[in-house]
Structure 1
C-alpha cells in the first residue's frame, strides 16, 4: 500500500513533521518540505488486515524528540476503500481539539453505534473518501449524509442524499466512485432521517466546493476532514451530586451500594436530570475503623470499596439461621440516621465471607470471572496480596511488615498461587473486586441507557499505605506531604498526608501510571472530576515534620536567593527570617496564664526576650507526639499555640537547596511579619506578590502542558477540573486550551474583587454548583454568617427588607433556579440543595447534612439521605417541581 500525506503547517528552524500510524510512535514517517510550511511524503506501508479504519496523527519533532502531537481523542482516519485501491492520498490540516470538544466525549454520545465502512466494488478505478466529524446528531433518529450539485450527490434534491457511515464514534465517512462525479461540484453535509433517508437539517455556512486534478486508476483521495455544524441550540445539562455511601433504600445494609446507585439513576432520569456525580469509591480499608471513612485516602487506585457491594444481587445464603441474623443486623443498621461505618463494614464483610465460602467454586471457575481476572491481573494480584497481608499483620503500613515489606513480584506470585495455602484468603479479594466490577458496570450501563452522565472523581493523591506506594514507590516522593495552602476551607492550610508525585519519573514513560488509571475509570464513567487540578501545575508540598500546611512550598517552584530578596529592598537576615521567632509578647499573647508553663517545658531562653524551641519540641510532629491522647481543651490550646510558634517564620528553606528560599504563605497574619517596619513590610509584600502571582505563570503553564494533554486525551470521558483555592493566572489558560470544564461556586468567586460570583457571567465551559462536599449546604451557609447572608440577600438576590432567618423553600428555589438558568454547560447540585426547595421534604436537621469539614483532618464521613429512594420516587410534587424547573431552564 502506498500512502501520500500532505499538510500545511508552519514550523520553525530545526523542527520537522512526522506521521504516526496506529499509535506506533517508534515507526513514525518523516515528511519533507521546501519552505517550512507545505509538508508531504509518500511511503510504502502495510496497513493491518484486521481493521477497516486505521488512526494516524501528525507530530512535530526537534532533535529526534517529539515536542508536539495533535491533541484530541479523535485521530485522523485511514478508511479502506476496496481491494483495487493501492494508493491513498491525504490532504490534511493540523488538528488540535475540535471546536466544542465536550460534544465528542462519551458523556454526550451514550452508547456508540459504529458501522463498517461500505466498500466499493473492485471494478471502481479511483474514488474519493469524504471524512467528517459530527457529534451533534440525535443518534437513534438521524444519520449524516452528503448532498450536492451533481447527479450522484442528488442534484440538491432533499430526498436523494447519500448516507454516510459512522465508522468511529462521531467520525463519518463515505467512499464515492470518482468517475461518477462531475467536477467541479458544490456540496453540503446534511442530517438525515434514519427512517426515511430524507434531509432534515442542512449544515451552516456556504456551499462547499470541490475540484482536484484527475485521479489515476487505483488512487483514493481523502479531502481534509471537516467538522460539521448544524444550527441547533447548545445542549446544557442538569444533575445532582451524592456520595454512594449516602444513598438509602429499604433494602440497603446501612450504607449506599451500587444497586442503590442504579435506583438513584432512575430517579434522576425521572426528574429530567441527565448527570449523576459521585465521590471516589475506591477501597480505603487501612485501619478497619471509622477513620477509613475518608474516601480520598484509598489503598488502591483501581480497587473499589467492598462496602458498596449490593448483597441483594448475590446468591442467597443457604444457612437460614445465619441469614436471619444478618437480616436482623441489616435492619438495625439501616434505621440509623448516619452511616455506622465500623458496624456496616464488619457485618457486610462477614456476610461476604460466608457467601464466598458457599459460592467460591462456582464464581472463580466461571468464564466471566476468568475474563475479568485476565484483564485486571496486573493490579488485582498486588491489591489482593496487599489486603491479605494487611489483615495478617494488622496494618496497611507495609514498612512495618515482618515479611514482604519490599514488593517482590516473584514472591507475590507464590503467595497468589492456586496451590498455595494462602490462596483462599487472597482469592477472597479477587471475588470482592469481581462482584464490585459487575455491579458498577451494570449501574454504568444503566446510566448510559437512560441518557444519564455518570461522573466519577479522581483524587489527586494516594495513601502512603497503599498498593501503589508498595509496588511502584519510584513514582512518588515519600519524604513530602501533599496538601493545600490556606484558603476559605482552612486558615492553616490543608495537610492531606499523601506523598507527592515524582513527575520526572512519570514523564519518562509518558505518564503511563495515570493513563492506566484513567482508562480503568472510562470502563464505568463518562465524565470525571479531577480533584485539585492545581496539583498538575504545582503541588503544595509540606515537610513530613509538619502538621499544618503553613510551612509548605510549591513543587516545582522557583525559589529565591538571598541576593534576589535584597533586590526587592528587603535586607535578608537568615536566622531571624527562617527560624521561628519567639518572644515574651508572643508567649503571653498566645498562652496567657499558661505562658510560664510553656517557657519551662517547651522553649528555652536565647537572649534578651527571645526564645527558641527546645530540640525535643522543635517540629510540629514532635509536639503532636507529646500531646497524643490528650483531648482536654487546655492541652489542645497549648498544642495549637506551639504549632503557631514553629510556623512563625518569614521564609521557608527550599526542599532541595537550603540556601534558596520561599516566602512563607499567609505570613502577613503572623507575629514575625509585625516585627518588620513599614518599609520592610512594603518590600516583603512586593516580593510576596511577585512570587505567588507573577513569577511562576509561564513555568507552571509549561509544567501542566507536559501532563494534562496526555492525560485528558487518553480517554473519551468528559473532563472537569476542581480549580478552587489559590489559582494562578496560568490555570485558566491551560483549561481553556484543553477545554477542561471549570468549577464555578457563587460563594467562591474567581474574581477577587467580587464577594459573590455572578451566575449569569459563568463561562459556558464550566460546571456550576451551589456547594461541594467540602462545604456547608445552602441552608447551612445561610446560617454561618449573618452579615454575609444579608449582603447576599440584598445585593446578589436583589431583595428588600428583613432577611429570613432560615432559608425558606421559596428562597432556596430561587437560588436553584438562578443556577439552572446560568450559561454553564453542567449544573450539578448536591441532593441536599435540591431537597432544600421543598420544606415538607428537606431534612429538619441542617447540620447533619454536611458531608465534610476540611479543617478537621479526622472528620467522620457518614451523612445519609434521611428518606429512602423508594419514598423519594413517590414524592410526586417534589419531582414535578424539579422537572418543571429543568424544563423551563432549557436543560433538557
Structure 2
C-alpha cells in the first residue's frame, strides 16, 4: 500500500471522535523517543535524572528530527521504585526535582550541600542508586524550612487548583511515615477507616510536615511544566504514561476505598510470553461506584496530567474493556493462572470500554494513545478505530500468526498505530537478536507439557540445545527442522500437537524470516551489526503507522557507547519477576554527551 498523502491522513483522522485532539497536535506522521527519566542524567544531575534534564532531551530530539518524547509514569512511587505501582495517580515523584531550579530559592545558598550531594551520588553507573531519594528529600526539607511559604500566592493558587487530591495525599504520606511505612490496611482502625476527628487532629499535630509534601508537589509541577513549555517551543510534544491502575497501598485507594474492589488483585492471563500469567496486586476499580460520582476520579486524573503532557499513553488499554482479576486468597506463586475477567460477561465488554473511553475523551485535550498488547478482545480494535486512538504495532510480534508466521511488511502495519521495535517491558533490539530470536520460553513449554501429562525433562533433552542461550530460553536443535520431525519425537500426530507445532513454526525460522523482512540477503548472521540495526530502524520508520517511537537504546543501538555493555542483562524491566535490576537501568552517557554524538 503506497504511503498516504497528508490530505488523506487528515481526512481519516478528522473523521474520528478525537478530531479535536488531532487538530491540536497536527495531522502528520511523527517520530519520537521513549525513555524513563531515571535512565537519563546530565552533568548537573544529583544522582539521578531530574525534570529540568528533559530540556536537554528536547535539544537532542531537535537535532535528530524527533517530535515526541514518551516518558514512563512520573508519579510518586514512595520507596518501592516501581513506576506502575504508584502511591498516587496525581502526585509527581519528588525524587526528580532539581535542587538547582527551585521556585523562590537561590541555589547559591546551598552550593556546598549540592556539591556534596553530587559527590556522594555520582552519575555514570549502569544502575540507579535509589538511596539518593532520601538524601535529596533531606536537603529539600532544609530548604523548605528556610522561609514561610504560606504567603506565596503561586503556592496558594496551586493548592486551590489541586484540592481534589492534594490534602488526602499529603496526609497519607505523613501518616504512613509515622506508621513505620506500613500498608494503610494495617494502620489503626480510626486511621484506616478515615475517622474525621482523628485525621483532623493528626493533620494539626503535623502541620509543617504535611505542608512540606504539598510544597514538593508545587516545585515538581513547576519544573515539569517548564520542561513541557521548553519542548513545545521547539515543536516537540511530551507523551505521559497514565497507569491504568494504582497501588493498593496508595493515597488514592485509602482516600476513596469505595472506588476499588479490595478483595481482588489485578493481573494478566497466561500467554506465550508469560507462562504463569501475571499478578500485579493493584485492586480493580469498582466502576459502578465511580459512575455514581460522575467518574470524578478518572476525570481529575486526566485534568492534572494535561498540565504536563500533550499526549498520553493509556497503559493496559484492554483493561478498559475487561480486567483479569485474582482473588486475594490465591497463592502468590500461582501468578495469574487462577483468575477471571471483570466484567465476566463478554457481551458487556464493548459498551463498558466505550463508556470509559468517552469519559476520557471529554475530560482532556490530550491525544490518547493505547498500549493494546496481550490478550486483546475484538471490540478493542473497533473502539480504537472509531476514536482515532493509536494502538501499538511491535516489530517482532507483528506477524501473520494464523498461517505463515512471517513478519508483516512495514506497509501492512496499522495506520492508526505507533510502530515500535521494543518497549520498557521487552528486551532491546540488540538483546532480542543476540539472545532471544529463534528461542522458546522454557516455562511456557514446560507448562504445556505438564498440561498434556508429558515428561518435560525428557522432551527438553531431545528437542533443545543444552548449552546455548540465556537462562529460561530454549534453542531448538538444528535437526528439528520440521513440524513433522517435532511430532515424530513427541510421539503424536501433528494435528494433536497444535500448540507445540505453532510454537515451533513461530520460533525455529524466526531469524531467517526476520532477515527476509528486512530485505537483507541470506544467509542470516548471528550477532548484532550496524547493518542489521540500521535495517531494523529503516523498516520500522517506513511503516504505515502514524508514529514511530523507539526506546533510546534502540535509536542509538549502533553507537560505540554500548561497546562495554552486556546486553544479556541490559533491559529496563522483566515482567512477572522481582529483581533489584528492574526499573534501574541507566544509559551509558550523559545527555550532554548524547548531544555530541556523531550518529544522529
Question: Residue 566 of structure 2: which of 845, 869, 872 is its match?
Answer: 845
- Structure-2 change in CA distance of 1:281 and 1:550 (3 Å): same
CA deviations 1:690-713 (Å, max 9, x no partner) are xxxxxx2x4311221222112123
Normalising by structure 2, what TM-score?
A: 0.81
Question: Residue 107 of structure 2: which of 291, 300, 316 is its match?
Answer: 316
User: Secondary structure in 2 aligned to 1:726?
Assistant: coil
Does the aligned pair in 2 maintain the 1:836–1:842 contact within 8 Å? no
User: Counterpart of 2:539?
Assistant: 818
User: Counterpart of 1:760?
Assistant: 411
User: Counterpart of 1:513?
Assistant: 297
Question: How many residues matched?
Answer: 509
Post-superposition offset of 1:387: 0.6
CA deviations 1:26-65 (Å, max 9, x no partner) are xxxxxxxxxxxxxxxxxxxxxxxxxxxxxxxxxxxxxxxx
User: Counterpart of 2:337?
Assistant: 550
Post-superposition offset of 1:731: 1.1
Alignment partners' CA distance in 2, 1:758 and 1:856: 33
User: Counterpart of 2:501?
Assistant: none
1:570-649 matched pairs, under 5 angstroms: none
Question: Residue 225 of structure 2: which of 436, 441, 455 is its match?
Answer: 441
- Structure-2 change in CA distance of 1:706 and 1:793 (3 Å): closer
Alignment partners' CA distance in 1, 2:287 and 2:18: 28
Post-superposition offset of 1:809: 1.2
- Structure-2 change in CA distance of 1:102 and 1:765 (3 Å): farther
User: Secondary structure in 2 aligned to 1:499?
Assistant: coil
Post-superposition offset of 1:428: 1.1
Matched, 1:873 2:595: yes
Does the aligned pair in 1 maintain the 2:270–2:336 contact within 8 Å? yes
User: Secondary structure in 1 aligned to 2:173?
Assistant: helix
Matched, 1:109 2:24: yes
Question: Residue 350 of structure 1: which of 132, 135, 138 is its match?
Answer: 138
User: Counterpart of 1:83?
Assistant: none
User: Secondary structure in 1 aligned to 2:241?
Assistant: strand
Question: Residue 318 of structure 2: which of 529, 534, 540 is its match?
Answer: 534
Alignment partners' CA distance in 1, 2:101 and 2:311: 26
Larger relative contact order, structure 1 or 2 (CA cutoff 8 Å, min sep 6): 2
User: Counterpart of 1:235?
Assistant: 28
Normalising by structure 1, what TM-score?
A: 0.55
Let me know the Cα RMSD of the aligned residues.
2.2
Post-superposition offset of 1:801: 3.4
Does the aligned pair in 1 maintain the 2:16–2:386 contact within 8 Å? no
Alignment partners' CA distance in 1, 2:114 and 2:230: 29
Give unpaired runs (5+ residues) of structure 2: 1-11, 439-506
Post-superposition offset of 1:241: 0.2
Q: Which moved more, 1:751-760 or 1:305-314?
A: 751-760
Matched, 1:383 2:169: yes
1:467-482 matched pairs, under 5 angstroms: 467-482=251-266
Question: Residue 99 of structure 1: which of 15, 21, 27 is its match?
Answer: 15
Alignment partners' CA distance in 1, 2:187 and 2:141: 24
Post-superposition offset of 1:373: 1.0
User: Secondary structure in 1 aligned to 2:544?
Assistant: coil
User: Counterpart of 2:271?
Assistant: 487
Post-superposition offset of 1:445: 1.2
- Structure-2 change in CA distance of 1:442 and 1:323 (3 Å): closer
Does the aligned pair in 2 maintain the 1:843–1:866 contact within 8 Å? no
User: Counterpart of 1:797?
Assistant: 518
Larger radius of gyration: 1
Question: Residue 406 of structure 1: which of 193, 196, 220 is its match?
Answer: 193
Alignment partners' CA distance in 2, 1:831 and 1:384: 34
User: Counterpart of 1:82?
Assistant: none
CA deviations 1:620-651 (Å, max 9, x no partner) are xxxxxxxxxxxxxxxxxxxxxxxxxxxxxxxx
Alignment partners' CA distance in 2, 1:519 and 1:824: 28
Alignment partners' CA distance in 1, 2:125 and 2:13: 49
Post-superposition offset of 1:759: 2.3
User: Counterpart of 1:6?
Assistant: none
Does the aligned pair in 2 maintain the 1:809–1:839 contact within 8 Å? no
Alignment partners' CA distance in 1, 2:316 and 2:538: 28
1:301-312 matched pairs, under 5 angstroms: 301-312=89-100
Alignment partners' CA distance in 1, 2:37 and 2:356: 30
Matched, 1:830 2:586: no
Does the aligned pair in 2 maintain the 1:489–1:854 contact within 8 Å? no
The structure richer in helix per residue is 2
Alignment partners' CA distance in 1, 2:226 and 2:210: 25
- Structure-2 change in CA distance of 1:759 and 1:801 (3 Å): closer
Does the aligned pair in 1 maintain the 2:325–2:339 contact within 8 Å? yes
Matched, 1:703 2:352: yes
The structure richer in strand per residue is 1
CA deviations 1:554-586 (Å, max 9, x no partner) are 11113xxxxxxxxxxxxxxxxxxxxxxxxxxxx
Does the aligned pair in 1 maintain the 2:419–2:548 contact within 8 Å? yes
- Structure-2 change in CA distance of 1:483 and 1:858 (3 Å): farther
User: Counterpart of 2:391?
Assistant: 742
CA deviations 1:291-338 (Å, max 9, x no partner) are x121011011100111110112133264676455334213x3x13221
- Structure-2 change in CA distance of 1:433 and 1:409 (3 Å): farther
Give unpaired runs (5+ residues) of structure 1: 1-95, 111-135, 137-233, 559-695, 880-892
CA deviations 1:832-865 (Å, max 9, x no partner) are 0001133466663324531000030445310111
1:647-796 matched pairs, under 5 angstroms: 696=346, 698-749=347-398, 752-753=401-402, 754-785=405-436, 787=438, 788=507, 789-796=510-517
Does the aligned pair in 1 maintain the 2:75–2:93 contact within 8 Å? yes
Question: Residue 272 of structure 1: which of 65, 69, 72 is its match?
Answer: 65
